[in-house]
Amino acid sequence: MRRYSVFAIAREAMRYHEGWERAWPAPTPKPRYDVIVVGAGGHGLATAYYLGKNFGITNVAVIEKGWLGGGNTGRNTTIIRSNYLQDPSSAIYEKARSLYEGLSRDLNYNVMFSPRGLLMLAQTEHEVRGYKRTVNANDLQGIETRWIGPQEVKDLVPMINLHGPRYPVLGALLQERGGTARHDAVAWGYARGCAAMGMHILQNCEVTAIRSENGQVSEVETTRGTIGCKKLAIVVAGHSSVMAEKAGFRLPVESMALQALVSEPIKPMIDVVVMANTVHGYLSQSDKGELVIGGGTDGFVNYSQRGSWQHVEETIRALIETFPPISRLRMLRQWGGIVDMTGDRSPILSKTPVGNIFINCGWGTGGFKAIPGSGWAMAELVANGEPGPLAADFGLERFREGRFIDESVAAGVAH
């Protein structure tokens, strides 16, 4: 496939942009692949990409029931950070964050990574203690974060009201190299990278059954026919427990909707990402000028990929006290995605009870930021059949052994 470059743009400008090829082809499924990845979200596509790039495995299909990036990858609020508390988490999230730094060049696709800085506001004494502890942990892990006082918060976010009647701003945890990226572009960039290596991306192709022989995966039944495989990677976020059931095992995962919304576009008013976890809301401003706003998950298990009025009201009501100007904005769009929550709020990258089936899920409300690191670690797991150092602690057995990676403080509010 032809590389994108300034010369390509100039050449196409001279011929009315008629020479661009498809960003990725729409192939006919082969009868058999070495590896099938189910789910063309960011994690599935990144898994396939690093299988090819790091291990030379390119006889791969990524199978997607809808359109690629149409799941949570295209529905999130794009926050990227690595300021987690536990060592295994910060290792994989920091791997992802550092890969994001060079991802546009690596993929030859502009993912618009914007390390604009990320603040987690402390609005109770409990949060002050929690975030100072995280700063200390990050220091030991080699991750750059720092604690800042209220005045520095005000300097970074002039519109903020430090003296809210219920929750004054007592300081914040700042990660200067945290930020955002364009979520669709991350999926599109990885898809193009996979296609360039000859992999097949099969859209509108739902996996309806998984078959195994002698305890080893053998084929998947899809809406486009039966396809054989030597290895199967299940990377379907909110539908993980549904897929696991098809393969014959159970997962300690609950699925529920997480919603978000954007305001009408306005002139630049905030150039960092701010999370207010006490009131459960966060915001940033997109390059188009919209305020991108999110809150907590629905409080009940469900599979509805849509927004709801009460959620908009709940989230905006929570944020207005700290960010008064947003009360004047009209809201433009809202939506939801189905996130996969584990009890310890940490992901699962694991072998499964069925031979050569591997699962990557449990990223819950915060997996966009992890895509490159997760794909890297999952590719290692699929290629070698055993987890490498990044995935080693995230196996399914931790739930049986009570060896949780508790991120309920750092990731309970996630994103």
Binding region for ligand FAD (CB under 6 A): 38-44, 63-66, 70-73, 75-79, 206-207, 235-237, 239, 243, 258-260, 294, 337, 339, 363, 365-369, 415
Q: How far is the CB of 129 from ligand FAD (least distance, A)?
A: 25
Q: How far is the CB of 127 from ligand FAD (least distance, A)?
A: 19
Do residues 347 and 370 touch, judged by C-beta distance below 8 A? yes
Q: Which is nearer to ligand FAD, 73 or 263 (CB)?
A: 73
**Nearest residue (CB) to ligand FAD, 70 versus 171:** 70
- The nearer residue to ligand FAD, 19 or 225, going by C-beta atoms, is 225
Spatial separation of the C-alpha atoms in residues 173 and 410, rounded to whole Å: 11
Nearer to ligand FAD, 32 or 224 (CB): 224
Q: Which residue number, 195 or 339, has a Cβ lying nearer to ligand FAD? A: 339
Instruction: Select 258 or 291, whichever has its Cβ closest to ligand FAD.
Output: 258
The closest alpha carbon to 132, from 109, 153, 149, belongs to: 149
Contact 84, 90 (CB under 8 A): yes
CB of 369 to ligand FAD, least distance (A): 4
* 12 phi, psi to nearest 5 deg: -70, -30
Nearer to ligand FAD, 95 or 369 (CB): 369
Distance of CA 402 to the CA centre of its chain: 26
Q: Which is nearer to ligand FAD, 72 or 285 (CB)?
A: 72
Q: How far is CA 158 from CA 155, 173, 293, 298, 390, in A?
A: 6, 17, 18, 31, 39
User: 255, 340 in Cβ contact below 8 A?
Assistant: yes
- DSSP per-residue codes, 312-323: HHHHHHHHHTTS
CB-CB neighbours of 244 under 10 Å: 23
Taking the complex as a whole, the smallest distance from the CB of residue 157 to ligand FAD amounts, in Å, to 18
The whole-angstrom separation of Cα 279 and Cα 142 is 30
Buried b or exposed e, range 159-170, using 16+ CB within 10 angstroms:
ebbeebeebebb
In terms of CB distance, is 164 or 281 closer to ligand FAD? Answer: 281
- State in angstroms the smallest separation of the CB of 70 from ligand FAD: 5
- φ, ψ of residue 122 to 5 degrees: the values are -100, 120
CB of 75 to ligand FAD, least distance (A): 5
The least CB distance from residue 42 to ligand FAD, in Å, is 4
Give the shortest CB-201-to-ligand FAD separation in angstroms: 11
DSSP conformation letters of 242-281:
HHHHHHT---SEEEEEEEEEEE---S----SEEEETTTTE
- 176: which 2 tokens? 């200067």
Torsion sign over Cα 96, 156, 153, 159: negative
Closest approach, Cβ 87 to ligand FAD, in A, equals 19
CA angle (412 as vertex; 133, 80 as ends), nearest 5: 80
| Degrees to nearest 5, angle at CA 364 with 333 and 59 | 100
301: DSSP letter = -
Give me the least distance between CB of 29 and ligand FAD, in Å please.
13
Q: Compare residues 164 and 239 and give the one whose CB is closer to ligand FAD.
A: 239
